[in-house]
């Protein structure tokens, strides 16, 4: 029996303040520092959005160029880190690889060596794609890749490293938009974990490591991988309809649907769906996108549930040639901008985050010494 008066999962609880984003607020929708997600996904680049989140204003053209060059110069991995990436098992979960890589970098380039939080944030934004690509190539083909590249954008850089050749402009921009959509989302579970760690005055790397560990689960970041596994198992839209109906009958949750805060639609989903459709046409796909649309329609009909960002991201990423197990790591590349901005915001006006709990255990008991039990 639940005696608690607290909100399960802290649903609806306002746990603090932020100037970074609004999520599902009436009349505002999703905004980053006041700019609508629709405008950012249409007109901005991910680097521009990262600057906005971390520095508070949109960059000038010159600032953006210099920022791109700066991030580009921070992509190289220290030898001690590549050494450890090589020693990790090939079967490791890629999220464990990034979590470990982040921790290792915290030992090699600690914040208290005179680095500012902002410097660590930029380094992590620049280095996570290199880390994943290095580990990937070493463990799939034994290659020790060069992690520097001419690509200015993080999206182009990662796709280039992963595939070994520069991405087409459509693919690069599709990934860039996806990074913008995933960059920030208020007090979601992983961001909250980062803020809790930051509130103890811990270091930047610890906060980001906590966030990566929290993002890994299928109720949060892991949903895009689970959504792809679902879509990919059906040969046709009709088979998907039968299969998903059966899952709903068995009360199985359909990954990529529903949201804690949004009630009628996820504004990010509309944008990534357009990209998924465009990429599916380009790839002459006649199955995945059709299956996705059918599942979307029947979830609306059967449960009045809508797709969240993870659902159509799954097929978009597939068309970009990204292996399914890297979907959540891509979320890390993007959300590092939001996490880092929240850590800086928490530090700027810190108070230890330490909520209370309703006690539901036994009444006071008399202690029985060990020899009498």
Contact between 242 and ligand COA (CB under 6 A)? no
Site string for ligand COA, 108-137 (x = CB under 6 A): ------------------------------
Which listed range, 107-115, 228-236, 257-265, 316-324, lies at the site for ligand COA (CB under 6 A)? 257-265
How far is the C-alpha of 370 from the C-alpha of 373, rounded, in Å? 6
Contact between 149 and ligand COA (CB under 6 A)? no
For the CB of residue 20, give the shortest distance to ligand COA in the complex, in Å: 17
Task: Name residues contacting ligand COA, limited to 11-40 (CB under 6 A).
Answer: 11
Q: What's the Cα-to-Cα distance from 16 to each of 4, 35, 171, rounded to whole Å? A: 22, 21, 38
Contact between 321 and ligand COA (CB under 6 A)? no
Q: Is residue 318 annotated as part of the catalytic site, yes or no? A: no
Contact between 186 and ligand COA (CB under 6 A)? no
Contact between 68 and ligand COA (CB under 6 A)? no
Question: Which residues are within 8 A (CB) of 46 and not within 5 positions of it... i.e. 6 or more apart?
Answer: 153, 154, 155, 176, 179, 180, 183, 334, 337
Question: Which residues are within 8 A (CB) of 231 and not within 5 positions of it... i.e. 6 or more apart?
Answer: 240, 288, 291, 292, 295, 314, 315
Residue from the set 242, 301, 303, 325 that interacts with ligand COA by CB under 6 A: 303
Contact between 190 and ligand COA (CB under 6 A)? no
> Site for ligand COA (CB under 6 A): how many residues?
16
Contact between 219 and ligand COA (CB under 6 A)? yes
- Convert 85-101 to b/e letters by CB count within 10 Å (16 or more is b): beebeeeeebbebbbbb
Contact between 310 and ligand COA (CB under 6 A)? yes
Residue from the set 16, 213, 258, 323 that interacts with ligand COA by CB under 6 A: 258
DSSP state letters, 221-236: TTHHHHHHHHHHT-SS
Residue of 157, 310, 318, 342 marked active site: 310
Q: Is residue 259 annotated as part of the catalytic site, yes or no? A: yes
For the CB of residue 226, give the shortest distance to ligand COA in the complex, in Å: 7
Residue from the set 4, 6, 9, 116 that interacts with ligand COA by CB under 6 A: 9
* Bridge partners for 307 per DSSP: 257
For the CB of residue 308, give the shortest distance to ligand COA in the complex, in Å: 4
| Alpha-helical regions (H) of the chain | 37-43, 46-55, 61-73, 79-87, 94-108, 117-141, 154-163, 169-182, 189-199, 204-215, 223-232, 237-249, 267-282, 288-303, 309-319, 327-348
Q: Is residue 122 annotated as part of the catalytic site, yes or no? A: no
Cα angle: 269, vertex 272, 278; to 5 degrees? 140
Q: Nearer Cβ to ligand COA, position 51 or 275? A: 275
Q: Which residues are catalytic?
A: 220, 259, 310
For binding to ligand COA (CB under 6 A), which residues are involved? 9, 11, 219, 223, 253-260, 303, 305, 308, 310
């Amino acid at each position: 029996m639940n005696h608690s008066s607290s909100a399960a999962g802290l649903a609806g609880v306002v746990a603090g303040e932020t100037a970074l984003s609004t999520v599902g607020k009436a009349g505002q929708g999703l905004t980053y520092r006041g700019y609508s997600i629709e405008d950012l996904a249409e007109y901005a680049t991910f680097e521009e959005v990262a600057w906005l989140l971390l520095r508070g204003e949109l960059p000038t053209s010159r600032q953006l160029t210099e920022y791109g060059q700066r991030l580009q110069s921070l992509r190289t991995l220290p030898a001690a880190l590549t050494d450890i990436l090589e020693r990790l098992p090939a079967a490791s979960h890629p999220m464990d690889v990034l979590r470990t890589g982040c921790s290792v970098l915290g030992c090699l380039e600690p914040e208290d060596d005179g680095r500012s939080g902002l410097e660590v944030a930029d380094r992590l934004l620049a280095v996570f794609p290199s880390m994943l690509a290095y580990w990937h190539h070493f463990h799939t083909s034994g290659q020790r890749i060069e992690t520097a590249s001419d690509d200015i954008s993080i999206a182009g850089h990662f796709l280039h490293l992963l595939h070994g050749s520069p991405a087409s402009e459509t693919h690069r921009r599709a990934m860039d938009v996806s990074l913008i959509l995933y960059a920030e989302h208020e007090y979601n579970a992983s961001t909250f974990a980062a803020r809790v760690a930051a509130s103890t005055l811990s270091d930047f790397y610890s906060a980001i490591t906590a966030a990566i560990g929290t993002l890994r689960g299928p109720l949060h970041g892991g949903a895009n991988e689970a959504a792809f596994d679902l879509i990919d198992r059906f040969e046709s839209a009709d088979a998907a309809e039968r299969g998903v109906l059966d899952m709903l009958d068995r009360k199985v949750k359909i990954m990529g649907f529903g949201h804690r805060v949004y009630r009628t639609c996820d504004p990010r989903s509309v944008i990534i769906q357009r990209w998924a459709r465009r990429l599916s046409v380009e790839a002459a796909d006649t199955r995945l996108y059709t299956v996705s649309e059918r599942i979307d329609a029947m979830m609306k009909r059967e449960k009045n549930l809508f797709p969240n960002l993870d659902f159509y991201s799954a097929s978009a990423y597939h068309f970009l040639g990204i292996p399914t197990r890297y979907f959540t790591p891509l979320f890390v590349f993007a959300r590092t901008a939001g996490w880092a901005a929240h850590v800086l915001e928490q530090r700027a006006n810190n108070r230890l985050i330490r909520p209370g709990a309703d006690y539901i255990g036994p009444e006071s008991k008399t202690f029985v010494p060990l020899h009498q039990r």
